[in-house]
């Protein structure tokens, strides 16, 4: 008798919870809500708002902390339904969990290093906004930043490239520019 042991199908939560790049606002600036979710989002502490006729809450999500979300089972539909490129590749069996988590950790490491250079340690503020504020404080645009701090400019460009290549932000909010 031939018994074949099959591995359980990948579960997105084993990647999403420890990754959290969506939740932390690295990939998106906001998450869209259905009108019917506004009251629930308010009760959850998500600070929902209506903008240009749409319903949303800003990211980073105030509920996500490191590798967990206390409302994961009851999260808004956009959080449940969102599927970045990395998650799609993992669920399709094209990438293993360890490989996906290593990539997410690489990006987290880049964000930590950039925040350190910016002197910014406020995890409630998106890294892209912190970089823009840094540029404005320095009195120069992108060209000035490149000239005076080429390493930081290179790291920001590398972070954007990795986010676009491996996460292809789609479905909620704005990409790395927003």
pLDDT by residue for the chain (178 residues), tens digit each?
A: 555 655 556 678 899 999 999 999 999 889 999 999 999 999 999 999 999 889 999 999 999 887 788 888 889 999 989 889 999 999 999 999 999 999 999 999 999 999 888 886 677 788 888 888 887 777 656 676 666 677 888 888 899 999 988 987 543 333 333 3
Q: Would you say residue 23 lies in a domain?
A: yes
Per-residue pLDDT, 65: 84
Q: What is the pTM of this model?
A: 0.80
Q: Would you say residue 172 lies in a domain?
A: no
Q: Would you say residue 6 lies in a domain?
A: no
Report how far Cα 112 is from the mean position of its chain's Cα atoms: 14
Per-residue pLDDT, 141: 60
| Rg over CA atoms, the chain | 18
pLDDT tens-digit series, residues 111-139 = 999 988 888 667 778 888 888 888 777 76
Q: Would you say residue 177 lies in a domain?
A: no
Q: Would you say residue 76 lies in a domain?
A: yes
Q: What is the DSSP letter of 163?
A: H
CA distance 164 to 67: 22
Question: Where in the sequence is the domain holding 123, given as residue range(s)?
Answer: 13-167
> CA 125, 131, 132, 137 torsion: positive or negative?
positive
- What is the number of domains present in the chain? 1
The 3-class secondary structure across 86-144, one letter per residue, is HHHHHHCCCCCHHHHHHHHHHHHHHHHHHHHHHCCCCCCCCHHHHHHHHHHHHCCCHHH
Per-residue pLDDT, 69: 86
User: Read out DSSP for 11-29?
Assistant: -THHHHHHH-TTTTTSS-S
Q: Which two tokens stand for residue 1?
A: 């008798």
Per-residue pLDDT, 90: 94
Q: Would you say residue 36 lies in a domain?
A: yes
Instruction: Tell me the three state secondary structure of residue 154.
Output: helix
Interacting residues of 105 by C-beta distance below 8 A, sequence separation 6+: none
Q: Would you say residue 118 lies in a domain?
A: yes
CA distance 113 to 107: 10
CA distance 89 to 84: 9
């Amino acid at each position: 008798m031939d018994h074949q042991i099959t591995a359980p199908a990948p579960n997105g939560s084993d990647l999403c919870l420890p990754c959290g790049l969506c939740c932390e606002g690295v990939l998106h600036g906001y998450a869209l809500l259905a009108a019917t979710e506004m009251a629930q989002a308010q009760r959850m502490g998500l600070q929902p708002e209506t903008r240009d006729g749409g319903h949303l809450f800003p990211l980073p999500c105030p509920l996500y902390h490191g590798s967990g979300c206390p409302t994961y089972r009851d999260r808004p539909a956009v959080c449940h339904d969102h599927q970045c490129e990395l998650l799609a590749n993992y669920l399709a069996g094209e990438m293993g969990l360890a490989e996906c988590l290593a990539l997410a950790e690489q990006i987290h490491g880049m964000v930590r290093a950039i925040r350190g250079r910016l002197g910014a340690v406020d995890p409630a503020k998106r890294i892209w906004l912190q970089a823009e504020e840094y540029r404005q404080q320095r009195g120069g645009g992108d060209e000035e930043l490149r000239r005076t701090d080429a390493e930081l400019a290179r790291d920001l460009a590398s972070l954007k490239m990795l986010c676009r290549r491996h996460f292809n932000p789609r479905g909620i909010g704005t990409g790395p520019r927003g």
